[in-house]
């Protein structure tokens, strides 16, 4: 089968970085058309720079990286330096990238790509707030029917929230954008915290990265070490969830995940539950199914895939 054409929409973030590396390492499965950066974990000047740092680390300096939106549709940006550090990619000191940022705006790239490629052949993988995708859909509604699938990291239900008691970070930062995307009618698969909190780093899993003896392996181990400290303290868990690579792993091997095709609505009206993804897991409403809500992951298989693929870089 030909590799699936994808656009990664991202706010790196150490776990975003691992998702990008997994895609770059898997050309037989995914054809990365471009990376669009969005404001999220840290402001846009840092996320676009971090995306280039990651490509350069892997030696993929001709990957197209675009800067997209610098603020949510209707709200002030909320960031997550408390998790990812001041740069968004804290851990070992990294040099500034030398590869260029594309001149085109990320939203224009998304629109043009979907209009240029045959309908139904481009998958979008958002692993940050959904601002760029919603903006593209608002500006160019004709592209909506051309999207093959959206495979995103975001949301939570049984696992409740991580940035508020009821909301997951990516959805919370731009709930209006998320509402628009979830309501667009595009086939959508989501990796909520219910999945990603089962994809925890452990000492042997981090050691597997370090023992690759490569620049990428060392860096991924160092990033995950950094990233871990926050979740271990917060949840008392053995390690940290590698959220964002779940999206790319799904494209490579969907059998690693299990979920249900159900209705998921995004709350935008309540202060208390703003950004909550209300998932009708038990199908108690007659609202139409609009998302595959993943709930389980084969974590061993996921980490084995990561170790196998990242060792190639």
As a whole number of angstroms, the distance between CA 44 and CA 277 comes to 25
As a whole number of angstroms, the distance between CA 140 and CA 107 comes to 10
Annotated active-site residue 105? The verdict is no
Pairing label, strands 264-266, 277-279: antiparallel
Assess 42 for contact with ligand BDR (CB under 6 A): no
Number of residues in contact with Ca ion, rule: CB under 5 A? Answer: 6
Assess 231 for contact with ligand BDR (CB under 6 A): no
Assess 16 for contact with Ca ion (CB under 5 A): yes
Q: What angle do CA 254, 187, 259 make, to 5 degrees?
A: 45
- Residue 168 interacts with, from Ca ion, ligand BDR, none (CB under 5-8 Å by kind): ligand BDR
As a whole number of angstroms, the distance between CA 126 and CA 241 comes to 17
Handedness of CA 296, 6, 49, 208 (dihedral sign): positive
Q: Is 117 exposed, middle or buried (0-12, 13-18, 19+ CB in 10 A)?
A: middle
Would you say 11 or 56 has its CB closer to ligand BDR?
11
What residues from 69 to 98 belong to the interface with ligand BDR (CB under 6 A)? 80, 83
Candidates 123-131, 217-225, 227-235, 285-293: pick the segment binding Ca ion (CB under 5 A).
123-131
Assess 259 for contact with Ca ion (CB under 5 A): no
* Two structure tokens written together for 115: 């209009």
Q: Taking a C-beta distance cutoff of 8 angstroms, is the pair 162, 193 a contact?
A: yes
Indicate the Cα dihedral angle 60, 129, 292, 151, nearest 10°: -20
Assess 127 for contact with Ca ion (CB under 5 A): yes
Assess 162 for contact with ligand BDR (CB under 6 A): yes
As a whole number of angstroms, the distance between CA 38 and CA 36 comes to 7
Smallest gap from residue 41 Cβ to ligand BDR (A): 5
Assess 128 for contact with Ca ion (CB under 5 A): yes
Q: Which of 4, 9, 13, 52 touches ligand BDR (CB under 6 A)?
A: 13
**Binding track, positions 244-283, relative to ligand BDR; x by CB under 6 A:** x---------------------------------------
Number of residues in contact with ligand BDR, rule: CB under 6 A? Answer: 15
Smallest gap from residue 18 Cβ to Ca ion (A): 10
Tokens 């009206």 belong to residue: 269
DSSP string computed for 6-24: EEEEE---HHHHHHHHHHH
Give the residues lining the site for Ca ion (CB under 5 A).
11, 13, 16, 127-128, 244
Q: What are the catalytic residues?
A: 243
Give the footprint of ligand BDR on this chain (CB under 6 A).
Answer: 13, 15-16, 41, 80, 83, 127-128, 153, 162, 168-170, 243-244
């Amino acid at each position: 089968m030909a590799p699936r054409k994808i656009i990664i929409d991202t706010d790196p973030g150490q776990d975003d970085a691992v998702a990008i590396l997994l895609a770059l390492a898997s050309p037989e499965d995914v054809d990365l058309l471009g990376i669009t950066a969005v404001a999220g974990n840290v402001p846009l000047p840092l996320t676009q720079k971090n995306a280039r740092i990651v490509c350069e680390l892997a030696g993929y300096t001709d990957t197209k990286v675009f800067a997209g939106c610098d603020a949510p549709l209707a709200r002030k940006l909320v960031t997550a330096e408390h998790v990812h550090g001041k740069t968004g990619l804290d851990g070992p000191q990294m040099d500034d990238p030398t590869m260029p940022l594309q001149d085109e705006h990320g939203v224009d790239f998304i629109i043009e790509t979907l209009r240029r490629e045959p309908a139904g052949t481009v998958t979008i993988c958002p692993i940050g707030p959904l601002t760029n995708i919603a903006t593209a859909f608002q500006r160019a509604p004709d592209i909506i029917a051309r999207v093959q699938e959206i495979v995103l990291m975001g949301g939570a239900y049984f696992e409740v929230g991580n940035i508020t008691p009821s909301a997951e970070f990516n959805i919370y930062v731009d709930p209006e954008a998320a509402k628009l995307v979830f309501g667009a009618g595009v086939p959508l698969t989501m990796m909520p915290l219910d999945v990603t909190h089962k994809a925890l780093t452990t000492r042997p899993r981090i050691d597997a990265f370090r023992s690759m003896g490569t620049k990428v392996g060392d860096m991924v181990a160092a990033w995950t070490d950094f990233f871990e400290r926050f979740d271990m303290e917060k949840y008392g868990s053995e390690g940290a969830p590698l959220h964002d690579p779940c999206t790319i792993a799904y494209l490579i091997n969907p059998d690693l995940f299990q979920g249900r095709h159900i209705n998921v609505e995004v709350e935008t009206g309540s202060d208390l539950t703003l950004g909550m993804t209300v998932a009708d897991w038990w199908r108690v409403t007659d609202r139409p199914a609009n998302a595959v809500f993943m709930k389980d992951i084969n974590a061993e298989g996921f980490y084995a895939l990561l170790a196998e693929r990242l060792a190639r870089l």
